[in-house]
Structure 1
Amino acid sequence: MRTKKEIDGGPTSAEKSSVFQKRRTQIIKKAAKLFAKKGYAQTSMREISKATGIDLSNLYYFIESKEEILFRVFEMIHRPESSVFENKAIMALEDPAEQLRAVIREMMHFSFRYKDEVLLLYRESKQLPKKLLKEILARESGFIRQIEAILRKGLEKKAFAMEDPAFTAGMIAYELSLFPLRSWNLKHFSKEELIQRVESHIMGAILA
Protein backbone atom coordinates (compact mmCIF):
# COMPACT_ATOMS: atom_id res chain seq x y z
CA MET A 1 0.00 0.00 0.00
CA ARG A 2 1.33 3.43 -0.94
CA THR A 3 1.60 6.14 1.67
CA LYS A 4 -0.28 9.44 1.40
CA LYS A 5 3.02 11.19 0.70
CA GLU A 6 3.70 8.89 -2.26
CA ILE A 7 0.16 9.35 -3.57
CA ASP A 8 0.55 13.14 -3.29
CA GLY A 9 3.72 13.02 -5.37
CA GLY A 10 6.30 12.83 -2.56
CA PRO A 11 9.42 10.67 -2.78
CA THR A 12 9.02 6.89 -2.98
CA SER A 13 10.66 4.67 -0.38
CA ALA A 14 13.38 3.75 -2.93
CA GLU A 15 14.12 7.41 -3.64
CA LYS A 16 14.12 8.18 0.05
CA SER A 17 16.57 5.35 0.64
CA SER A 18 18.86 6.63 -2.10
CA VAL A 19 18.84 10.14 -0.62
CA PHE A 20 19.36 8.70 2.85
CA GLN A 21 22.41 6.71 1.77
CA LYS A 22 23.87 9.67 -0.11
CA ARG A 23 23.50 11.92 2.94
CA ARG A 24 24.94 9.30 5.27
CA THR A 25 27.97 8.84 3.01
CA GLN A 26 28.46 12.61 2.96
CA ILE A 27 28.43 12.67 6.76
CA ILE A 28 30.90 9.79 7.04
CA LYS A 29 33.38 11.35 4.61
CA LYS A 30 33.23 14.80 6.19
CA ALA A 31 33.53 13.33 9.68
CA ALA A 32 36.52 11.20 8.63
CA LYS A 33 38.36 14.35 7.54
CA LEU A 34 37.60 16.02 10.89
CA PHE A 35 38.70 12.92 12.85
CA ALA A 36 41.94 12.81 10.86
CA LYS A 37 42.62 16.50 11.42
CA LYS A 38 41.52 17.01 15.03
CA GLY A 39 41.33 13.51 16.46
CA TYR A 40 38.20 11.50 17.21
CA ALA A 41 37.80 12.53 20.85
CA GLN A 42 38.30 16.22 20.03
CA THR A 43 35.64 16.27 17.31
CA SER A 44 32.07 17.01 18.38
CA MET A 45 28.80 16.14 16.66
CA ARG A 46 28.14 19.88 16.45
CA GLU A 47 31.33 20.30 14.38
CA ILE A 48 30.27 17.43 12.14
CA SER A 49 26.88 19.13 11.74
CA LYS A 50 28.59 22.36 10.71
CA ALA A 51 30.94 20.61 8.26
CA THR A 52 28.10 18.76 6.54
CA GLY A 53 25.62 21.63 6.57
CA ILE A 54 23.06 19.36 8.24
CA ASP A 55 21.27 20.67 11.31
CA LEU A 56 22.34 18.84 14.48
CA SER A 57 18.84 17.53 15.19
CA ASN A 58 18.59 16.21 11.62
CA LEU A 59 22.07 14.68 11.81
CA TYR A 60 20.78 12.09 14.27
CA TYR A 61 18.23 10.97 11.69
CA PHE A 62 21.10 9.65 9.55
CA ILE A 63 23.60 8.66 12.26
CA GLU A 64 22.81 7.51 15.80
CA SER A 65 26.11 8.45 17.42
CA LYS A 66 29.70 9.51 16.87
CA GLU A 67 30.76 5.90 17.52
CA GLU A 68 28.57 4.78 14.62
CA ILE A 69 30.24 7.29 12.32
CA LEU A 70 33.69 5.95 13.23
CA PHE A 71 32.49 2.38 12.69
CA ARG A 72 31.13 3.28 9.26
CA VAL A 73 34.40 5.01 8.35
CA PHE A 74 36.11 1.67 8.94
CA GLU A 75 33.39 -0.10 6.94
CA MET A 76 34.26 2.22 4.06
CA ILE A 77 37.80 0.75 4.07
CA HIS A 78 36.74 -2.87 4.39
CA ARG A 79 34.39 -2.82 1.42
CA PRO A 80 37.17 -2.30 -1.16
CA GLU A 81 39.40 -4.74 0.74
CA SER A 82 36.73 -7.41 0.41
CA SER A 83 36.19 -6.60 -3.26
CA VAL A 84 39.80 -7.59 -4.03
CA PHE A 85 39.13 -11.15 -2.87
CA GLU A 86 35.83 -11.21 -4.75
CA ASN A 87 37.55 -10.22 -7.98
CA LYS A 88 37.23 -13.31 -10.19
CA ALA A 89 40.15 -12.29 -12.40
CA ILE A 90 42.48 -12.21 -9.37
CA MET A 91 41.09 -15.27 -7.61
CA ALA A 92 41.27 -17.34 -10.80
CA LEU A 93 45.03 -16.86 -11.13
CA GLU A 94 46.74 -20.23 -10.75
CA ASP A 95 50.20 -18.84 -10.05
CA PRO A 96 50.24 -17.83 -6.34
CA ALA A 97 53.04 -15.32 -6.97
CA GLU A 98 51.03 -13.54 -9.66
CA GLN A 99 47.93 -13.70 -7.49
CA LEU A 100 49.75 -12.12 -4.54
CA ARG A 101 51.28 -9.43 -6.76
CA ALA A 102 47.78 -8.54 -8.01
CA VAL A 103 46.45 -8.32 -4.44
CA ILE A 104 49.41 -6.17 -3.36
CA ARG A 105 48.90 -3.69 -6.18
CA GLU A 106 45.14 -3.42 -5.65
CA MET A 107 45.52 -2.96 -1.89
CA MET A 108 48.26 -0.35 -2.34
CA HIS A 109 45.99 1.65 -4.63
CA PHE A 110 43.30 1.52 -1.94
CA SER A 111 45.81 2.66 0.70
CA PHE A 112 46.43 5.81 -1.33
CA ARG A 113 42.73 6.43 -1.88
CA TYR A 114 41.78 5.83 1.77
CA LYS A 115 44.92 7.21 3.40
CA ASP A 116 43.14 9.15 6.17
CA GLU A 117 40.69 6.35 6.90
CA VAL A 118 43.43 3.70 7.20
CA LEU A 119 45.37 5.96 9.56
CA LEU A 120 42.22 6.38 11.64
CA LEU A 121 41.79 2.61 11.81
CA TYR A 122 45.22 2.22 13.43
CA ARG A 123 44.93 5.31 15.59
CA GLU A 124 41.32 5.45 16.74
CA SER A 125 39.77 1.97 16.55
CA LYS A 126 40.21 1.57 20.33
CA GLN A 127 37.58 4.31 20.73
CA LEU A 128 34.84 1.98 19.50
CA PRO A 129 32.55 0.12 21.90
CA LYS A 130 33.71 -3.48 22.43
CA LYS A 131 31.01 -5.00 20.22
CA LEU A 132 31.84 -2.79 17.22
CA LEU A 133 35.59 -3.13 17.79
CA LYS A 134 35.22 -6.90 17.80
CA GLU A 135 33.48 -6.74 14.42
CA ILE A 136 36.19 -4.50 12.94
CA LEU A 137 38.97 -6.77 14.23
CA ALA A 138 37.15 -9.81 12.83
CA ARG A 139 37.10 -8.17 9.39
CA GLU A 140 40.80 -7.35 9.64
CA SER A 141 41.52 -10.95 10.63
CA GLY A 142 39.49 -12.17 7.67
CA PHE A 143 41.56 -10.03 5.32
CA ILE A 144 44.79 -11.46 6.76
CA ARG A 145 43.46 -15.02 6.41
CA GLN A 146 42.83 -14.39 2.71
CA ILE A 147 46.48 -13.41 2.27
CA GLU A 148 47.54 -16.41 4.34
CA ALA A 149 45.57 -18.71 2.02
CA ILE A 150 47.55 -17.42 -0.97
CA LEU A 151 50.81 -17.92 0.93
CA ARG A 152 49.89 -21.50 1.83
CA LYS A 153 49.01 -22.22 -1.78
CA GLY A 154 52.44 -20.85 -2.74
CA LEU A 155 54.10 -23.11 -0.17
CA GLU A 156 52.29 -26.16 -1.51
CA LYS A 157 53.47 -25.31 -5.02
CA LYS A 158 56.98 -24.58 -3.73
CA ALA A 159 56.76 -21.04 -5.12
CA PHE A 160 57.18 -19.47 -1.65
CA ALA A 161 59.50 -20.16 1.26
CA MET A 162 58.67 -19.09 4.83
CA GLU A 163 58.42 -20.56 8.33
CA ASP A 164 55.07 -19.13 9.44
CA PRO A 165 52.44 -18.18 6.80
CA ALA A 166 50.09 -16.66 9.42
CA PHE A 167 52.79 -14.34 10.78
CA THR A 168 53.96 -13.45 7.27
CA ALA A 169 50.38 -12.62 6.21
CA GLY A 170 50.11 -10.22 9.15
CA MET A 171 53.37 -8.54 8.22
CA ILE A 172 52.24 -8.17 4.60
CA ALA A 173 48.95 -6.59 5.74
CA TYR A 174 50.92 -4.09 7.80
CA GLU A 175 53.28 -3.32 4.93
CA LEU A 176 50.31 -2.63 2.65
CA SER A 177 49.45 0.21 5.04
CA LEU A 178 52.92 1.72 4.72
CA PHE A 179 51.82 4.86 2.88
CA PRO A 180 49.05 5.95 5.29
CA LEU A 181 51.25 5.23 8.31
CA ARG A 182 54.51 6.72 7.01
CA SER A 183 53.44 9.18 4.31
CA TRP A 184 55.32 12.03 5.98
CA ASN A 185 58.70 10.53 5.03
CA LEU A 186 57.72 8.88 1.74
CA LYS A 187 56.92 12.06 -0.19
CA HIS A 188 59.96 11.68 -2.44
CA PHE A 189 58.42 8.55 -4.00
CA SER A 190 55.77 8.73 -6.68
CA LYS A 191 52.70 6.54 -6.16
CA GLU A 192 53.86 3.99 -8.73
CA GLU A 193 57.41 3.94 -7.36
CA LEU A 194 56.19 3.20 -3.85
CA ILE A 195 53.81 0.47 -5.04
CA GLN A 196 56.67 -1.14 -6.96
CA ARG A 197 59.02 -0.99 -3.99
CA VAL A 198 56.49 -2.50 -1.59
CA GLU A 199 55.69 -5.24 -4.08
CA SER A 200 59.39 -6.01 -4.63
CA HIS A 201 60.11 -6.02 -0.89
CA ILE A 202 57.27 -8.42 -0.08
CA MET A 203 57.93 -10.78 -2.97
CA GLY A 204 61.68 -10.73 -2.36
CA ALA A 205 61.10 -11.91 1.21
CA ILE A 206 58.91 -14.92 0.33
CA LEU A 207 59.82 -16.19 -3.13
CA ALA A 208 61.50 -19.58 -3.02
Structure 2
Amino acid sequence: MKAATGTHHDVPTQVKDPALVERRRRQIVDASVALFVKNGYHNTTTRQIAKATGFSIGSLYEYVSTKEDVLYLVCDAIHAEMEKAVTRVVSDQVPGPDMLRDAVRGYFAVCDTMSDHIVLIYQVTQFLSDKWKKRVLDNEIRVTGRFRQLLEDVIAKEQFVGIDARQIDLAAHNIAVLGHAWAFRRWFYLKHYSLAEYTEFQIRNILGAISENFHNSINKGK
Protein backbone atom coordinates (compact mmCIF):
# COMPACT_ATOMS: atom_id res chain seq x y z
CA MET A 1 0.00 0.00 0.00
CA LYS A 2 1.33 3.40 -0.90
CA ALA A 3 1.19 6.38 1.38
CA ALA A 4 -1.70 8.77 0.98
CA THR A 5 -1.25 12.43 1.65
CA GLY A 6 -3.78 14.18 3.85
CA THR A 7 -4.13 17.63 5.41
CA HIS A 8 -1.25 19.25 3.48
CA HIS A 9 -3.06 22.18 1.89
CA ASP A 10 -0.68 24.74 3.40
CA VAL A 11 2.28 23.37 1.44
CA PRO A 12 2.53 25.70 -1.56
CA THR A 13 1.92 24.35 -5.06
CA GLN A 14 1.74 25.91 -8.49
CA VAL A 15 -0.64 23.23 -9.76
CA LYS A 16 -4.38 23.96 -9.71
CA ASP A 17 -5.70 20.41 -10.04
CA PRO A 18 -6.10 18.98 -6.48
CA ALA A 19 -6.31 15.37 -7.68
CA LEU A 20 -3.08 15.73 -9.64
CA VAL A 21 -1.36 17.36 -6.67
CA GLU A 22 -2.49 14.45 -4.49
CA ARG A 23 -1.13 11.88 -6.94
CA ARG A 24 2.18 13.59 -7.55
CA ARG A 25 2.82 14.26 -3.89
CA ARG A 26 2.11 10.62 -3.11
CA GLN A 27 4.85 9.72 -5.61
CA ILE A 28 7.19 12.26 -4.03
CA VAL A 29 6.54 10.92 -0.53
CA ASP A 30 7.20 7.29 -1.44
CA ALA A 31 10.37 8.09 -3.38
CA SER A 32 11.62 10.38 -0.60
CA VAL A 33 11.14 7.84 2.18
CA ALA A 34 13.29 5.33 0.31
CA LEU A 35 16.02 7.92 -0.18
CA PHE A 36 15.85 9.26 3.39
CA VAL A 37 16.11 5.72 4.78
CA LYS A 38 19.02 4.85 2.48
CA ASN A 39 21.03 8.08 2.55
CA GLY A 40 19.73 10.01 5.54
CA TYR A 41 17.63 13.14 5.41
CA HIS A 42 20.52 15.61 5.27
CA ASN A 43 22.40 13.68 2.60
CA THR A 44 19.42 13.50 0.28
CA THR A 45 19.03 16.33 -2.21
CA THR A 46 15.92 17.60 -3.94
CA ARG A 47 17.59 16.69 -7.23
CA GLN A 48 17.82 13.06 -6.07
CA ILE A 49 14.17 13.16 -5.01
CA ALA A 50 13.16 14.52 -8.41
CA LYS A 51 15.13 11.80 -10.22
CA ALA A 52 13.69 9.01 -8.04
CA THR A 53 10.18 10.34 -8.61
CA GLY A 54 10.70 10.63 -12.38
CA PHE A 55 10.34 14.42 -12.38
CA SER A 56 12.60 17.16 -13.58
CA ILE A 57 13.80 19.41 -10.77
CA GLY A 58 11.54 22.13 -12.17
CA SER A 59 8.51 19.84 -12.06
CA LEU A 60 9.30 18.85 -8.47
CA TYR A 61 9.23 22.49 -7.42
CA GLU A 62 5.74 22.83 -8.84
CA TYR A 63 4.53 20.58 -5.99
CA VAL A 64 6.89 21.50 -3.13
CA SER A 65 9.10 24.47 -2.36
CA THR A 66 11.75 22.89 -0.13
CA LYS A 67 13.03 19.55 1.12
CA GLU A 68 11.42 20.41 4.45
CA ASP A 69 8.04 20.51 2.68
CA VAL A 70 8.72 16.96 1.50
CA LEU A 71 9.54 15.85 5.04
CA TYR A 72 6.31 17.34 6.33
CA LEU A 73 4.36 15.60 3.57
CA VAL A 74 5.91 12.28 4.65
CA CYS A 75 4.73 12.87 8.22
CA ASP A 76 1.31 13.99 7.02
CA ALA A 77 0.93 10.91 4.83
CA ILE A 78 1.46 8.58 7.78
CA HIS A 79 -1.14 10.28 9.94
CA ALA A 80 -3.61 10.39 7.06
CA GLU A 81 -3.32 6.62 6.54
CA MET A 82 -3.67 5.95 10.27
CA GLU A 83 -6.78 8.08 10.55
CA LYS A 84 -8.31 6.49 7.45
CA ALA A 85 -7.83 3.02 8.95
CA VAL A 86 -9.74 4.03 12.09
CA THR A 87 -12.41 5.97 10.21
CA ARG A 88 -13.24 3.00 7.98
CA VAL A 89 -14.08 0.93 11.06
CA VAL A 90 -16.00 3.66 12.86
CA SER A 91 -18.22 4.33 9.84
CA ASP A 92 -19.27 0.67 9.49
CA GLN A 93 -19.82 -0.59 13.03
CA VAL A 94 -21.77 -0.07 16.22
CA PRO A 95 -19.70 1.52 19.02
CA GLY A 96 -18.31 -1.01 21.48
CA PRO A 97 -15.46 -3.47 22.09
CA ASP A 98 -15.66 -5.03 18.60
CA MET A 99 -15.26 -1.63 16.99
CA LEU A 100 -12.23 -0.90 19.16
CA ARG A 101 -10.68 -4.26 18.30
CA ASP A 102 -11.12 -3.72 14.57
CA ALA A 103 -9.82 -0.15 14.76
CA VAL A 104 -6.68 -1.30 16.55
CA ARG A 105 -6.19 -4.09 13.99
CA GLY A 106 -6.50 -1.61 11.12
CA TYR A 107 -4.19 0.87 12.80
CA PHE A 108 -1.52 -1.73 13.52
CA ALA A 109 -1.75 -2.95 9.92
CA VAL A 110 -1.00 0.56 8.69
CA CYS A 111 1.91 0.84 11.12
CA ASP A 112 3.27 -2.41 9.69
CA THR A 113 2.94 -1.28 6.09
CA MET A 114 4.43 2.13 6.83
CA SER A 115 7.13 0.99 9.26
CA ASP A 116 9.94 2.79 7.42
CA HIS A 117 7.87 5.98 7.33
CA ILE A 118 7.20 5.82 11.09
CA VAL A 119 10.83 5.21 12.03
CA LEU A 120 11.79 8.08 9.76
CA ILE A 121 9.39 10.46 11.51
CA TYR A 122 11.06 9.85 14.86
CA GLN A 123 14.50 10.33 13.35
CA VAL A 124 13.91 13.57 11.48
CA THR A 125 10.94 15.45 12.97
CA GLN A 126 13.46 17.47 14.97
CA PHE A 127 14.68 19.01 11.71
CA LEU A 128 11.29 20.50 10.87
CA SER A 129 10.59 24.17 11.51
CA ASP A 130 8.40 24.98 14.50
CA LYS A 131 5.45 25.54 12.16
CA TRP A 132 5.58 22.06 10.62
CA LYS A 133 6.60 20.38 13.85
CA LYS A 134 3.47 21.73 15.52
CA ARG A 135 1.35 20.42 12.64
CA VAL A 136 2.90 16.97 12.98
CA LEU A 137 2.22 16.90 16.72
CA ASP A 138 -1.33 18.18 16.16
CA ASN A 139 -1.91 15.37 13.65
CA GLU A 140 -0.58 12.84 16.15
CA ILE A 141 -2.96 14.13 18.81
CA ARG A 142 -5.85 13.99 16.34
CA VAL A 143 -5.22 10.32 15.57
CA THR A 144 -4.89 9.55 19.27
CA GLY A 145 -8.15 11.40 19.84
CA ARG A 146 -9.96 8.90 17.62
CA PHE A 147 -8.87 6.12 19.95
CA ARG A 148 -9.87 8.18 22.94
CA GLN A 149 -13.40 8.44 21.52
CA LEU A 150 -13.51 4.70 20.84
CA LEU A 151 -12.42 3.97 24.40
CA GLU A 152 -15.12 6.29 25.74
CA ASP A 153 -17.68 4.43 23.59
CA VAL A 154 -16.56 1.07 24.99
CA ILE A 155 -16.72 2.34 28.55
CA ALA A 156 -20.20 3.75 27.99
CA LYS A 157 -21.49 0.61 26.26
CA GLU A 158 -20.12 -1.73 28.91
CA GLN A 159 -21.23 0.67 31.66
CA PHE A 160 -17.79 0.79 33.22
CA VAL A 161 -17.46 3.30 36.04
CA GLY A 162 -14.54 4.77 37.92
CA ILE A 163 -12.36 5.28 34.86
CA ASP A 164 -11.45 8.93 34.63
CA ALA A 165 -10.42 11.11 31.69
CA ARG A 166 -6.71 10.89 32.52
CA GLN A 167 -6.80 7.09 32.38
CA ILE A 168 -8.64 7.17 29.07
CA ASP A 169 -6.07 9.59 27.64
CA LEU A 170 -3.23 7.37 28.77
CA ALA A 171 -4.88 4.29 27.26
CA ALA A 172 -5.39 6.09 23.94
CA HIS A 173 -1.76 7.15 23.80
CA ASN A 174 -0.71 3.61 24.70
CA ILE A 175 -2.55 2.31 21.62
CA ALA A 176 -0.80 4.87 19.41
CA VAL A 177 2.62 4.00 20.82
CA LEU A 178 2.05 0.24 20.56
CA GLY A 179 1.51 0.64 16.82
CA HIS A 180 4.76 2.57 16.56
CA ALA A 181 6.51 -0.05 18.69
CA TRP A 182 5.77 -2.69 16.06
CA ALA A 183 7.57 -0.49 13.52
CA PHE A 184 10.57 0.09 15.78
CA ARG A 185 10.96 -3.47 17.04
CA ARG A 186 9.89 -5.38 13.95
CA TRP A 187 13.49 -6.58 13.54
CA PHE A 188 12.81 -8.69 16.64
CA TYR A 189 9.05 -9.22 16.60
CA LEU A 190 8.98 -10.66 13.08
CA LYS A 191 11.37 -13.42 14.14
CA HIS A 192 9.00 -14.58 16.86
CA TYR A 193 5.47 -13.30 16.21
CA SER A 194 3.14 -12.56 13.36
CA LEU A 195 1.48 -9.16 13.19
CA ALA A 196 -1.82 -10.87 14.05
CA GLU A 197 -0.34 -12.45 17.21
CA TYR A 198 1.14 -9.13 18.30
CA THR A 199 -2.12 -7.32 17.61
CA GLU A 200 -4.36 -9.78 19.50
CA PHE A 201 -1.99 -9.80 22.48
CA GLN A 202 -2.06 -6.01 22.70
CA ILE A 203 -5.84 -5.83 22.27
CA ARG A 204 -6.29 -8.25 25.19
CA ASN A 205 -4.01 -6.06 27.32
CA ILE A 206 -5.85 -2.87 26.36
CA LEU A 207 -9.32 -4.25 27.11
CA GLY A 208 -8.02 -6.08 30.17
CA ALA A 209 -6.62 -2.87 31.62
CA ILE A 210 -9.96 -1.11 31.18
CA SER A 211 -11.80 -4.00 32.85
CA GLU A 212 -9.26 -4.17 35.68
CA ASN A 213 -9.63 -0.45 36.39
CA PHE A 214 -13.38 -0.94 36.50
CA HIS A 215 -13.20 -3.82 38.97
CA ASN A 216 -10.65 -2.00 41.11
CA SER A 217 -12.96 1.01 41.36
CA ILE A 218 -15.82 -1.27 42.42
CA ASN A 219 -13.69 -2.94 45.09
CA LYS A 220 -12.58 0.40 46.49
CA GLY A 221 -16.20 1.39 46.90
CA LYS A 222 -16.99 -1.63 49.04
TM-score normalised by structure 2 residue count: 0.75
Inter-CA distance 35–154: structure 2 relative to 1 (3 Å threshold): same
- For the residue of structure 2 that corresponds to 1:41, the secondary structure is coil
Where does residue 8 of structure 1 map in the other structure?
none
Deviates more, 1:144-153 or 1:103-112: 144-153
Asked whether 1:185 is paired with 2:188, we answer yes
Rg larger in structure: 1
Inter-CA distance 181–161: structure 2 relative to 1 (3 Å threshold): farther
Structure 1 gaps of 5+ residues are: 1-12
- For the residue of structure 2 that corresponds to 1:187, the secondary structure is helix
Where does residue 38 of structure 2 map in the other structure?
37
How far 1:20 sits from its partner (Å)? 4.6
Inter-CA distance 182–161: structure 2 relative to 1 (3 Å threshold): farther
Inter-CA distance 153–58: structure 2 relative to 1 (3 Å threshold): closer
Letter in 2 for 1:147: F
Quote the RMSD (CA, aligned, Å): 2.6
Q: Distance in 1 between matches of 2:95 and 2:58?
A: 54
| Mapping 1:19-38, distance limit 5 Å | 19-38=20-39
Where does residue 205 of structure 2 map in the other structure?
201
Where does residue 168 of structure 1 map in the other structure?
171
Q: Distance in 1 between matches of 2:199 and 2:112?
A: 10
Letter in 2 for 1:203: L
Where does residue 102 of structure 2 map in the other structure?
102
Where does residue 69 of structure 1 map in the other structure?
70
Equivalenced residues, count: 194
Where does residue 7 of structure 1 map in the other structure?
none
Letter in 1 for 2:135: E
How far 1:142 sits from its partner (Å)? 1.4
Q: Distance in 2 between matches of 1:21 and 1:142?
A: 21
Letter in 2 for 1:123: Q
Letter in 2 for 1:68: D
Inter-CA distance 168–45: structure 2 relative to 1 (3 Å threshold): same
Where does residue 112 of structure 2 map in the other structure?
112
Where does residue 10 of structure 1 map in the other structure?
none
Q: Distance in 1 between matches of 2:120 and 2:130?
A: 17
What is the identity percentage for the equivalent residue pairs of Structure 1 and Structure 2? 24
Q: Distance in 2 between matches of 1:41 and 1:19?
A: 28
Structure 2 gaps of 5+ residues are: 1-14, 213-222
How far 1:84 sits from its partner (Å)? 3.6
- For the residue of structure 2 that corresponds to 1:207, the secondary structure is helix
Deviates more, 1:85-94 or 1:142-151: 85-94
Q: Distance in 1 between matches of 2:161 and 2:183?
A: 28
CA contact (8 A) 2:95 2:153 kept: no
Deviates more, 1:181-190 or 1:54-63: 54-63
Letter in 2 for 1:116: D
Q: Distance in 2 between matches of 1:63 and 1:88?
A: 33
- For the residue of structure 2 that corresponds to 1:63, the secondary structure is coil
TM-score normalised by structure 1 residue count: 0.80
